[in-house]
């Protein structure tokens, strides 16, 4: 059998229930009490494998070592228990290393040293190194470890782990537990037996991890109704909008035909901890017929469908799920991470519930609170639409007075959940057309509510439509055009903080102006905010400290960060939009060409998933350096989805940012990545 053919073989999954590994003075790895089939994982020439002996690692050529290790660690290799002896030059054991671990089931590995002899001359010399190494391995590794002691008194480890293994020592860079694997611990997963029988219908982008199974629904109202009736549902949409939030909140998962990793569906789903597959372009969705067709297979509303948000796979029918299991090792790992980390981890949260979830995962504040998501509940949306569709400023203020108490109550709940921690609130950002009704029924309802004609409402809705809305009338441009919106939101934010101050709750509000590209855009908004704050404080006879800063998400803002920092007290990099505007790639439409770009190696990774350090990253670095040259105490962080991606987090650490902010369920990933970044310095 040729080497190429062997490498393409998938080794049969095999579980080693018990094995002893001895590292002797010759550095041979001896395997005893293990089935000989374990050697299949090595996939090396038979001459290099004997019964009971895995291989002589040090005798292999460097190219063979890499391949051997990869083959050992992939495709189902699993160790449930292992003991390991360190031998000195005379063959006497120094330590026993015990590992209780089951990597496939995502149980975190815990490693401890235990003495096996009373006293050895070299034992105490090694202990200091061993304890520190042990602690680091607890933090950064997730597989089986083989130790040896070098003549130079270094403790070296050969780590066996699916997709991640190599030889390293105390003086070398350590192999790390891949932080993203923590996602598997925090979200539902498919039952393995059920998954084996499942039929893949199509694939999309793995927009939010976890597993979901439920009946297909196409509209938010139906999702809410079916959920209330005790049914599990999966929302299937061409693409989602803020109007779909109520349905998304009750759905087991979300599936869209369009959209990338930072589309509305992806971002909201990650914030909710919901499974989501986006950009599944093979889907042909017919809202009128309430069907979805994929390669000739037609599914109707009510049919079951299953989603794997970690891989992007969509399955026909039911694939049963089970809740993820968290072990005590998880909390231990997080405590150890906090011991080393320098970069703070905040969360992106828009509700008290999301804030509390994130805080339970260790978030130390909110880096992004999106105010627009608050407008889609009950009577709020009616008042919001009334404000948008009003003829003049007087009409807008009348509608805004209805919104104010809702907003203030929302902020009060969020501040309370994050008591004592900073909360960055982004002022209204999306284009207004996202909030208005586009169906005849909704338009008629608004006409009746406002006492105007249906024709007037339709004309106003049409007037709000833009050819390129993400570059249009949104962000600070809204606040500068309609300052009454900024006034209302400022009063709601600071009013909530004042109420909590009376109740003895400590708050640290930070008001963030979105989409600044020009210093004067920011200054105009800052003036409105501070003037309204002064007016509110005079009325209340009390005050509270707050900061005003901006979101850096336009390349020009990064290039002129020194000027903007002359007024802004903090920067928050909105890397979703910054990536969009730097590359010129639409966040929502990239799925149409991304697979081809990845296949042809034009792109190595999706830039909306992994921060482009050579381009977008340099804008982040430049803006941070320029801003702090003017304002040395300038607080800088990122709040785009890159804030929960491990390599991006490590880049933020190197650049010297104060914090990263990410979806609640990605907080543990960011905390681990931040600790690893500190260790790697």
Which residue numbers are catalytic? 264, 639
Q: Do 175 and 146 form a contact (C-beta atoms < 8 A)?
A: no
d(CA 268, CA 580): 18
Please check whether residue 579 is in contact with residue 610, taking contact to mean a CB–CB distance below 8 angstroms: no
Which one, of 354, 373, 469, 387, lies nearest residue 426 by Cα?
373
Backbone angles phi and psi of 370, in degrees to 5: -85, 110
Q: Return the half-sphere exposure (C-beta side, CA atoms, 13 A cut-off) of residue 78.
A: 15
DSSP letter string, 80-134: SEEEEEEE-TTS-EEEEEEEEEEGGGTEEEEEEEEE-SS--TTHHHHHHHHHHHH
- Rounded CA-CA distance 590/414 in Å is 33
Q: Which residues face 107 on adjacent strands?
A: 102
From the list 372, 367, 369, the residue with the least C-alpha distance to 387 is 372
CA distance 316 to 234: 12
The residue written with tokens 């978030």 in the block is 363
199 to each of 195, 312, 317, 547, how far by Cα in Å? 8, 14, 8, 53
* Pairwise CA distance, residues 541 & 371, whole Å: 27
DSSP label of 50: B
Helices 575-583 and 616-630 pack at an angle, to 10 degrees, of 120
- Taking CA atoms, 554 is separated from 371, 558, 584, 589, in Å, by 20, 7, 11, 19
| Cβ atoms 261, 207 nearer than 8 A | yes
Please tell me whether residue 346 adopts helix, strand or coil conformation.
strand
DSSP H helix total and E strand total for the chain: 24, 32
Single out the residue of 36, 40, 72 nearest to residue 57, CA to CA: 72
**Residue 62 CB burial class (10 angstroms; 0-12, 13-18, ≥19):** exposed
Q: Euclidean distance between the first and final Cα of the chain, in Å? A: 46
How many residues does this entry show for the chain? 681
* 510 vs 158: CA distance, rounded Å: 47
């Amino acid at each position: 059998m040729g080497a190429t053919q062997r490498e393409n073989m998938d080794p049969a999954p095999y579980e080693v229930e018990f094995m002893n590994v001895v590292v002797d003075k010759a550095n041979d790895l001896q395997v005893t009490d293990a089935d000989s089939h374990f050697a299949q994982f090595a996939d090396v020439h038979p001459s290099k494998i004997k019964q009971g002996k895995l291989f002589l690692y040090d005798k292999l050529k460097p190219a063979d070592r890499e391949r051997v290790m990869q083959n050992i660690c992939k495709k189902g290799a699993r160790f449930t228990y292992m003991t390991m002896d360190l031998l000195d030059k005379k063959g006497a054991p120094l330590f026993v290393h015990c590992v209780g671990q089951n990597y496939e089931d995502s149980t975190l590995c815990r490693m401890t040293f235990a003495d096996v002899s009373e006293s050895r001359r070299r034992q105490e010399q090694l202990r200091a190194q061993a304890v520190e190494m042990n602690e680091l391995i607890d933090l950064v590794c997730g597989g089986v470890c083989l130790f040896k002691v070098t003549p130079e008194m270094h403790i070296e480890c050969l780590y066996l782990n699916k997709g991640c293994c190599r030889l390293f020592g105390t003086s070398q860079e350590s192999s790390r537990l891949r932080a993203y694997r923590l996602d598997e611990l925090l979200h539902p997963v498919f039952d393995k037996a059920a998954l084996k029988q499942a039929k893949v219908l199509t694939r999309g982008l793995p927009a939010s991890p976890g597993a979901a199974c439920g009946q297909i629904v196409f509209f938010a109202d139906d999702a809410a109704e079916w959920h209330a009736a005790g049914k599990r549902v999966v929302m299937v949409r061409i693409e989602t909008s803020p109007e779909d939030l109520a349905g998304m909140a009750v759905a087991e998962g979300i599936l869209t035909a369009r959209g990338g990793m930072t589309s509305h569906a992806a971002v909201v789903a990650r914030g909710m901890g919901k499974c989501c597959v986006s950009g599944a372009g093979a889907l042909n969705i017919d809202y009128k017929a309430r069907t979805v067709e994929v390669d000739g297979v037609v599914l109707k509303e009510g049919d079951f469908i299953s989603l794997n948000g970690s891989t992007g796979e969509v399955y026909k029918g039911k694939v049963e799920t089970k809740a993820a299991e968290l072990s005590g090792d998880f909390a231990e790992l997080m405590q150890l991470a906090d011991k080393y980390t320098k970069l703070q981890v905040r969360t992106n949260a828009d509700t008290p519930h999301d804030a509390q979830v994130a805080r339970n995962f260790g978030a130390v504040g909110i880096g992004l609170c999106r105010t627009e998501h608050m407008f889609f509940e009950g009577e709020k949306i009616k008042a919001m639409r009334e404000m948008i569709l009003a003829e003049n400023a007087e009409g807008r203020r009348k509608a805004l007075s209805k919104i104010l108490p809702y907003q203030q109550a929302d902020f009060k709940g969020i501040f309370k959940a994050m008591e004592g921690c900073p909360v960055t609130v982004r002022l209204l950002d999306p284009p207004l057309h996202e909030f208005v009704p586009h169906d005849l029924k909704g338009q008629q309802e608004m006409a009746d509510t406002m006492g105007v004609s249906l024709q007037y409402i339709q004309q106003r809705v049409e007037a709000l439509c833009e050819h390129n809305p993400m570059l249009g009338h949104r962000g600070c441009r809204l606040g500068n055009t309609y300052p009454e919106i900024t006034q209302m939101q400022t009063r709601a934010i600071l009013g909530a903080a004042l109420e909590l101050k009376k109740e003895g709750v400590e708050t640290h509000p930070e008001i963030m102006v979105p989409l600044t590209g020009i210093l004067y855009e920011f200054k105009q908004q800052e003036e409105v905010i501070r003037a309204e704050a002064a007016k509110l404080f005079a009325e209340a006879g009390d005050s509270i400290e707050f900061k005003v800063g901006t979101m850096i998400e336009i390349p020009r803002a990064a290039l002129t960060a020194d000027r903007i920092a002359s007024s802004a007290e903090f920067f928050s990099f909105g890397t979703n939009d910054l990536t969009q505007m730097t590359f010129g790639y639409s966040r929502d439409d990239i799925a149409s060409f991304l697979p081809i770009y990845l296949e042809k190696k034009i792109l190595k990774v999706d830039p909306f998933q992994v921060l482009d350090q050579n381009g977008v990253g340099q804008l982040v670095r430049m803006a941070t350096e320029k801003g702090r040259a003017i304002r040395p105490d300038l607080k800088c962080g990122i709040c785009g989805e890159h804030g929960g991606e491990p390599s991006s987090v490590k880049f933020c650490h190197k650049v010297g940012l104060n914090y990263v902010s990410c979806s609640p369920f990605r907080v543990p990933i960011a905390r681990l990545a931040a600790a690893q970044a500190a260790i790697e310095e």
